[in-house]
Structure 1
Amino acid sequence: MCGGAVNEAPGGLIVETGIQATGFNQLHCDGGPQESDEAAIAAAERHFGSSGSWRIVSEGPSVAAEAFATRHGVERQPLYPVMAMPLAGSMPPPKTPLVLSTADDIAGLRLFVDCAGAGYRMDPALLKPLATNAALAEGDLRFHLGRLHGRCVAVSVSVRSGDTVGVYFVAVRRGFRRRGFATAVTWHAIHAGANPGAGTAVLQATPAGYPVYARMGFTRITDYWLWDLPGLHPRP
């Protein structure tokens, strides 16, 4: 959609999205022995180059990733739990003053990009590749908006896959938080993105989002270990 690619590497999978920001370009380690992670990390370093920004993702502790990050003065990110919730019998969406919708044109995608950038303290220009007709054509991928008095103040993304709907990129503008807006746009992503008969919603929680999702009924099923590597340069 944004000109990215997925490449297999010994011991892992290199994911490049076409968005030049650290969390969007990743190495997923297979979780094998240390030498397997070392080979995967070396392949990712060659792929992204010394000036590229990328992230190592592992489903458990990785001695190789920790050592590589330490050499470059990078600390591991907090654990990012993967959470799931059965849709049958789940709580109804909350009442909210937000006007909730799903982007169906470029103007809507531009609103998403602007709000997501503000919510994550990210230059919206980095997310500009999302505001394309190619994004609108992805039937299983939807961008959701929450407006208050006409202004987009909360966003989310849903991805449909079989009987599961994944929720991603939940963001709320600063100054509009602690009003239940994150809960509202998460519920909208689940119900607007689910296939008929979908049975499960899944997401990956930030430390700040974890209590929100736990109150909604999501439970922790595993953890991701993350190391963000923004533009590596050899240390003296």
Structure 2
Amino acid sequence: MIEAVLAANRAYLLGWNDGPAEGDIYRSGLPHAPLNGVVRLTGQDPADAYPQAVDRLEGVPRVWWVGEDSDPGTAEALRSLGARQLTRMPVMVAEVAAAPVVPEPSGVVIEEARDITEFVTAYAKALGIPDEAVLRAAEREKTFGHTVLRLAARLPDGPIAGTAEAYLSDGLVTLYFVGTQPPFRRRGIGAALTQAVLRHAAVRGIPMAALTSTPVALPVYRRLGFTEVSQYELFTF
């Protein structure tokens, strides 16, 4: 299972590359670190791979993902080459059919986003992506086509309060950009969006869901039936 989860994450991140993919390096060019980086290191001497990645990703914030799909010793090698660990991100999975039901916030409507630019504008505000990058991010989003489901949580007067993006691949749905606008946090909107993704997955016959969580979000995802199966170490370089 973990192999499929990590492969789905690689495929999604490489999809952000602005141009033909080159190995395991992706560069969207957007000023948001997770959208530029290296998804793994396999079969290559870190001393050779490191300067290649620095050169390819020069001028943009970037991250290096080190998980079970990277060669053993990758994290230690990156540290010795000057990379700095940012955080550890738990990799979590859930059985779609077994996910518990959580209460949903009143007055919030969750629907598929039709306007990609509006959707990106909302998650950019929630996740700290600069305004000037929104239009370029929206153009990259459009290249995913029907492999991506975008859900927006709206308030009665219309603005998007929260977002969730789901990448659909080979019997698996992986979640990204689960975020809530600062004024609307702590109302259960993020949990409701995640639950809505699981419902859409069930309708499509997708049995498993996966995500990478920040440490602070762990209790929310555990409440929704997700369990930790692995972790990533994220480095800046």
Q: TM-score, normalised by structure 2?
A: 0.81
Question: Which is richer in strand?
Answer: 1
The Cα of 1:193 is off from its aligned counterpart by 4.9
Question: Paired residue for 1:102, among 98, 112, 121?
Answer: 112
- 1:165 and 2:173 matched: yes
Task: Measure, in 2, the Cα distance between the counterparts of 1:76 and 1:134.
Answer: 28
- 1:80 and 2:127 matched: no
- In the alignment of these two chains, the number of paired residues is 215
Q: What residue number does 1:222 align with?
A: 230
Query: Which runs of no fewer than 5 residues in structure 2 stay unpaired?
Result: 1-14, 69-73
Q: What residue number does 2:38 align with?
A: 27
Q: Which amino acid aligns with 1:16?
A: R
Task: Measure, in 2, the Cα distance between the counterparts of 1:196 and 1:189.
Answer: 11
Give per-residue Cα distances to partners, 1:179-217, cap 9 Å, x unaligned: 110101112223235662211000010122222111111
Q: What residue number does 1:14 align with?
A: 25
Q: TM-score, normalised by structure 1?
A: 0.81
Q: Does the 8 Å CA contact 2:104/2:189 hold for their aligned counterparts?
A: no
Q: Which amino acid aligns with 2:56?
A: H
Task: Measure, in 2, the Cα distance between the counterparts of 1:7 and 1:170.
Answer: 28
Q: What residue number does 2:45 align with?
A: 36
Q: How does 1:78-157 map to 2 (within 5 A)?
A: 78-92=87-101, 94-97=103-106, 98-104=108-114, 108-132=115-139, 135=142, 138-149=145-156, 150-157=158-165
Q: Does the 8 Å CA contact 2:201/2:207 hold for their aligned counterparts?
A: no
Q: Does the 8 Å CA contact 1:31/1:62 hold for their aligned counterparts?
A: no
The Cα of 1:225 is off from its aligned counterpart by 0.6
SS at match of 1:114: helix
Cα distance change, pair 136–7 in 1 and its aligned pair in 2 (3 A): closer
**35-44 or 197-206, which deviates more:** 35-44
The Cα of 1:89 is off from its aligned counterpart by 2.2
Cα distance change, pair 5–224 in 1 and its aligned pair in 2 (3 A): farther
Q: Which amino acid aligns with 1:63?
A: E
Give per-residue Cα distances to partners, 1:76-99, cap 9 Å, x unaligned: 112111100011222135322311
Q: Alpha carbon RMSD of aligned pairs, Å?
A: 2.4
Query: Which runs of no fewer than 5 residues in structure 1 stay unpaired?
Result: 230-236
Cα distance change, pair 157–134 in 1 and its aligned pair in 2 (3 A): closer
Question: Which is richer in helix?
Answer: 2
Identity percentage of aligned residues: 22
Q: What residue number does 2:191 align with?
A: 183
